[in-house]
């Protein structure tokens, strides 16, 4: 019995020793990416994953870019190890996301996970990572509670929904203060999964901090509905000065068309998430895509002050045939943060990577975001984020706020539909 | 308030009519051969993409493209029958379900492969714009889709009730063997039913493409509700599908306004459940 046990355990022990061997032995560092690659938001999933692919390509190859790890091949402190991306499709399902996280960790033996677009999927898949003690980073899953769970292994570079929702009120208050707009009543329309609900909940809370604004309608809808006329009818009846949206691509197209149909043109149409400025939205609606305002994380107009933004978005366009927008830019940033941390850790040991991530301190000029930098608090939340507002004018999204950085004049109130 | 009610009524009718025609095609195939076509929504999706491609490549207006897409989908429906359905005719019901269900997944996958997962829309068409009557607003694309659906259903009904071909089709539906004994080519009738079923969604799809988004899974948005409409109206009944589509459209829009958008389908399906319990054959079903 004992001999049998020795026979089995000795080689295993040897294997474990080999596995823990020096960092220079690493040839390849596997990163698991969990994204929706089929189903309702497959388009956004693909765009986001493409940005991650681009980040990996930049790290693996030699690029003359002012980004960490760009000018060297692979991860220098891991003996030039290449990063290998293992992509997996969660189909928008939290259950599949958790199962895929499990598979990536136990079968593919990834060093870290990145995901998951949907906050609902990030919630379940990061739970698996937490259980196995594998670092998990998200660049675009925004639900506030993700970083409120007391997780050790979860990191988020993007601002949470709660922080973002405040930006709308700051923006509107600033417009009112400068006499650029008269805003009293606000309506909210949002999709009813975690992301939309979270935004609406956060926004509702800020009405107490900004008593000059009143909430006059709050409409939730389910994704994949055949028709949104009754929802818009409720907005029409409420006559708001501003409508806040939290919608995905399909309903964004449907809503814009229904607004036009019913002649609904409130002075301000503000949106959370990139759906209302996405390239497909603009191509589908042409002139009707104009004047929607989106609180963005990112804009190519920022390239005027930060040339690296142009270089990276040009690469993205060359490779994937469409313009980068805020979500891919953030996923790109999260990937760079993760890889920079792995390199700094000089190891693929989970604990070493986790420590390196927690110690991340990137400056404004090392990232493609308009943020003062990236630094995580004890919850794993980046505390250095900042929002900007973009408005589509002549079918092109232009940076209009903050006014100091604006590339175009804000159009307010929104003109009537043509 | 009265205007709002009237506006909701109008919106509900337009939503309902489109649904009615989609349900009619589904109902026809089921009525004739007792097979549920799970790929029905994917035919709708293909009609929308066909309209998009004709618009992008040939600059063809959706209305002008309508005859082409109808022919195309009719052919595709017949082809589906010949290549797939005919082989599982005598097979157990679950084989038939898997057959059309598999086709659904294959077509969705194929569309995503060819066109990607992007959302498309046709920016403008000859029916773009709206009609303002006092405080009432009628979208011309919605009007066109509604009228087109109505026209499609009337044409289908006339074909079934007033022509020799329709009589042969109905005879096949009632008793395949007896119809064959009387010299009706039942195989041809089955193929025809599939062609007609697909042609119905070609009309809906082409006219929806003027104002709806187009993407690989757009069919699913409509078919789940269409299935409920078929069961509500009565399997195999075209007038039933018509009435049921309207009922669901009106309930959906009214509930979405008065109660909650999230719950609007709950009300539609609740009515369906009620009908199934009280009158299992559906509103206008014959059996």
Q: What is the pLDDT of residues B97-148, one digit of tens each?
A: 999 999 999 999 999 999 988 899 998 889 888 998 888 889 999 999 999 9
Q: Hey, what are A24's tokens?
A: 């220079």
pLDDT of residue A18: 45
Conformational region of residue A263, where left means phi above 0, alpha means psi within -120 to 50, and beta covers everything else: left
Q: By the CB < 8 Å criterion, does B120 face chain A?
A: yes
Q: Do B256 and A231 touch (CB under 8 A)?
A: yes
Q: Hey, what are A253's tokens?
A: 């197209």
* Mean pLDDT value across residues B11-36: 93
pLDDT of residue A203: 95
Q: Do A220 and B260 touch (CB under 8 A)?
A: yes
Is residue A3 over pLDDT 70? no
Q: Do A40 and B225 touch (CB under 8 A)?
A: no
Touching A: B residues 58-87, CB under 8 Å: none
pLDDT of residue B128: 87
Note if the bond before A182 is cis, omega within 30 degrees: no
* Mean pLDDT value across residues A185-203: 92
pLDDT of residue A19: 45
Q: What is the CA radius of gyration of chain A?
A: 23
Is residue A414 over pLDDT 80? yes
Nearest CA in chain A to B266: A222
Residue among B121, B216, B257 whose CB faces A234 most closely: B257
Counted across chains A and B, CB pairs separated by less than 8 A come out at: 106
Q: What is the pLDDT of residues A117-144, one digit of tens each?
A: 999 999 999 999 999 999 999 999 988 8
Q: What is the pLDDT of residues B46-68, one digit of tens each?
A: 999 999 999 999 999 999 999 99
Nearest CA in chain A to B117: A43
Residue among B217, B220, B262 whose CB faces A222 most closely: B262
Q: Hey, which of A36-40, A41-45, B77-81 has the most confident mean pLDDT?
A: B77-81
Q: Do A230 and B139 touch (CB under 8 A)?
A: no
Q: Do B212 and A286 touch (CB under 8 A)?
A: no
Q: Do B130 and A39 touch (CB under 8 A)?
A: no
Residues 6 or more apart in contact with residue B215 via CB below 8 angstroms = A43, A250, B117, B118, B119, B120
pLDDT of residue A369: 93
Q: Do A43 and B118 touch (CB under 8 A)?
A: yes
H-helix or E-strand spanning residue A260:
helix A249-262
For residue B112, list chain A residues with Cβ-Cβ distance below 8 A.
Answer: 38, 42
Is residue A342 over pLDDT 80? yes
Give B169's pLDDT tier (boundaries 50, 70, 90): very high
| Angle of CA points A404, A407, A409, to nearest 5° | 85
- Tell me the shortest Cα–Cα distance from A196 to chain B, in angstroms: 13
Q: Which of A13-22, A224-233, A383-392 has the lowest mean pLDDT?
A: A13-22
Q: By the CB < 8 Å criterion, does B100 face chain A?
A: no
pLDDT of residue A385: 85
> Which has the closest alpha carbon to A296: A406, A143, A154?
A406
Q: Do A221 and B262 touch (CB under 8 A)?
A: yes
pLDDT of residue B117: 83
In chain A, % of residues over pLDDT 70: 94
pLDDT of residue B287: 52
Give B286's pLDDT tier (boundaries 50, 70, 90): low
Q: How far, in Å, CA of A284 to CA of B119, rounded? A: 8
Q: Which of A237-251, A395-409, B35-49 has the lowest mean pLDDT?
A: A395-409
Give A41's pLDDT tier (boundaries 50, 70, 90): confident
Is residue A21 over pLDDT 50? no
Mutate to test the interface with A, among B117, B125, B215 (most CBs of A within 10 A): B117
Q: Do A254 and B212 touch (CB under 8 A)?
A: yes
pTM score > 0.80 for this model?
A: no
For residue A46, list chain B residues with Cβ-Cβ distance below 8 A.
Answer: 116-117
Q: Do B264 and A225 touch (CB under 8 A)?
A: yes
- Tell me the shortest Cα–Cα distance from B123 to chain A, in angstroms: 5
Q: Do A38 and B112 touch (CB under 8 A)?
A: yes
Nearest CA in chain B to A289: B123
Helix axes A194-209, A119-132, angle to 10 degrees: 100
For residue A226, list chain B residues with Cβ-Cβ distance below 8 A.
Answer: 15, 19, 221-222, 225, 252
- Tell me the shortest Cα–Cα distance from B263 to chain A, in angstroms: 8
For residue A265, list chain B residues with Cβ-Cβ distance below 8 A.
Answer: none
- Tell me the shortest Cα–Cα distance from A226 to chain B, in angstroms: 6
* Mean pLDDT value across residues B11-40: 93
Q: What is the pLDDT of residues B65-90, one digit of tens each?
A: 999 999 999 999 999 999 999 999 88
For residue A234, list chain B residues with Cβ-Cβ distance below 8 A.
Answer: 257
Residue among B137, B215, B255 whose CB faces A250 most closely: B215
Residue with tokens 């994704």: A223
> Which residues pair with residue A33 across a beta bridge?
A87, A114
> Which residues pair with residue A382 across a beta bridge?
A376
Cα torsion at A154, A160, A162, A167 (round to 10°)? 160
Q: Do B262 and A237 touch (CB under 8 A)?
A: no
Residue among A45, A46, A230 whose CB faces B11 most closely: A230
- Tell me the shortest Cα–Cα distance from B257 to chain A, in angstroms: 5
For A391, other C-beta atoms within 10 Å of its C-beta total: 27
Q: What is the pLDDT of residues A59-73, one digit of tens each?
A: 999 999 999 999 999
Give A4's pLDDT tier (boundaries 50, 70, 90): low
Q: By the CB < 8 Å criterion, does B261 face chain A?
A: yes
* Mean pLDDT value across residues B224-237: 90
Mutate to test the interface with B, among A193, A217, A227 (most CBs of B within 10 A): A227
Mean of pLDDT over chain A: 91
pLDDT of residue A24: 44
Cα torsion at A364, A83, A153, A196 (round to 10°)? 70
pLDDT of residue A198: 87
For B212, which DSSP code? Answer: S
pLDDT of residue A224: 85
Q: How far, in Å, CA of B243 to CA of A33, rounded? A: 48
pLDDT of residue B135: 83
Nearest CA in chain A to B221: A224
Residue among A46, A226, A233 whose CB faces B222 most closely: A226
Q: How far, in Å, CA of A302 to CA of A276, rounded? A: 19
């Amino acid at each position: 019995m004992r001999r049998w046990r020795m026979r089995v355990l000795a080689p295993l022990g040897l294997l474990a020793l080999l596995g823990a061997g020096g960092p220079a032995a690493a040839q390849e560092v596997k990163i698991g990416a969990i994204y929706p690659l089929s189903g309702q938001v497959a388009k956004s999933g693909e765009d986001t994953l493409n940005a991650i692919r681009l980040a990996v390509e930049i790290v693996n190859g030699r690029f003359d870019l002012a980004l960490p790890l760009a000018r060297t091949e692979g991860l220098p402190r891991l003996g030039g190890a290449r990063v290998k991306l293992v992509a997996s499709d969660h189909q928008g399902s939290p259950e599949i996301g958790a199962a895929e996280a499990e598979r990536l960790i136990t079968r593919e033996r990834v060093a870290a996970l990145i995901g998951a677009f949907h906050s609902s999927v990030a919630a379940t898949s990061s739970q698996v990572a937490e259980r196995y003690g594998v670092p998990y980073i998200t660049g675009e899953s925004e639900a506030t509670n993700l970083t409120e769970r007391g997780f050790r292994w979860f990191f988020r570079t993007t601002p949470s929904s709660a922080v973002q929702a405040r930006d709308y009120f700051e923006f509107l208050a600033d417009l009112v203060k400068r006499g650029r707009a008269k805003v009293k009543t606000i309506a909210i329309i949002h999709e009813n999964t975690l992301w939309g609900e979270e935004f609406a909940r956060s926004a509702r809370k800020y009405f107490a901090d900004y008593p000059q604004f009143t909430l006059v309608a709050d409409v939730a809808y389910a994704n994949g509905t055949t028709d949104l006329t009754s929802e818009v009818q409720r907005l029409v009846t409420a006559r708001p000065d501003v409508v806040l949206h939290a919608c995905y691509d399909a309903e964004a197209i449907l809503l814009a068309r229904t607004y036009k149909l019913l002649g609904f043109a409130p002075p301000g149409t503000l949106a959370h998430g990139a759906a209302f400025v996405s390239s497909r939205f603009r191509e589908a609606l042409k002139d009707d895509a104009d004047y929607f305002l989106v609180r963005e994380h990112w804009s190519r107009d920022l390239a005027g002050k930060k040339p690296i933004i142009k270089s990276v978005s040009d690469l993205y366009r060359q490779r994937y045939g469409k313009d980068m927008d805020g979500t891919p830019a953030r996923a790109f940033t999260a990937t760079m943060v993760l890889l920079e941390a792995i390199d700094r850790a000089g190891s693929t040991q989970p604990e070493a990577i986790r420590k390196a991530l927690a110690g991340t301190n990137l400056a404004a000029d090392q990232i493609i975001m308009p943020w003062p930098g990236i630094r995580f608090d004890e919850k794993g939340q980046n505390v250095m984020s900042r929002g900007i507002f973009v408005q589509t004018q002549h079918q092109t999204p232009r940076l209009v706020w903050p006014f100091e950085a604006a590339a175009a004049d804000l159009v307010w109130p929104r003109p009537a539909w043509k | 308030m009265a205007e709002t009610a009237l506006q909701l009524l109008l919106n509900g009718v337009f939503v309902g009519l489109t649904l009615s025609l989609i349900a009619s095609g589904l109902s026809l195939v089921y009525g004739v051969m007792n097979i549920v076509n799970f790929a029905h929504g994917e035919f709708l999706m293909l009609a929308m993409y066909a309209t998009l491609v004709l618009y992008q490549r040939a600059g063809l207006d959706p209305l002008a493209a309508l005859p082409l897409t109808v022919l195309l989908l009719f052919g595709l429906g017949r082809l589906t029958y010949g290549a797939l359905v005919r082989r599982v005719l005598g097979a157990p019901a679950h084989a038939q379900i898997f057959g059309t269900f598999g086709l659904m997944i294959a077509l969705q996958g194929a569309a995503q492969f060819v066109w990607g997962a992007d959302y498309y829309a046709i920016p403008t068409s000859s029916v773009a714009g709206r009609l303002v009557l006092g405080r009432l607003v009628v979208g011309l694309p919605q009007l066109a889709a509604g009228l087109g659906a109505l026209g499609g259903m009337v044409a289908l009904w006339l074909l079934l009730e007033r022509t020799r071909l329709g009589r042969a089709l109905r005879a096949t539906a009632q008793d395949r063997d007896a119809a064959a004994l009387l010299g009706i080519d039942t195989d041809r009738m089955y193929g025809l039913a599939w062609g007609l079923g697909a042609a119905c969604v070609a009309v809906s799809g082409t006219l929806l493409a003027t104002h709806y988004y187009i993407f690989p899974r757009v069919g699913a948005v409509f078919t789940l509700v269409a299935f409920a409409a078929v069961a509500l109206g009565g399997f195999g009944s075209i007038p039933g599908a018509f009435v049921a589509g309207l009922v669901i459209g009106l309930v959906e829009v009214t509930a979405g306004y008065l109660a909650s958008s999230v719950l609007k389908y709950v009300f539609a399906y609740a009515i369906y459940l009620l009908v199934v319990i009280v009158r299992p054959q559906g509103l206008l079903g014959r059996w």
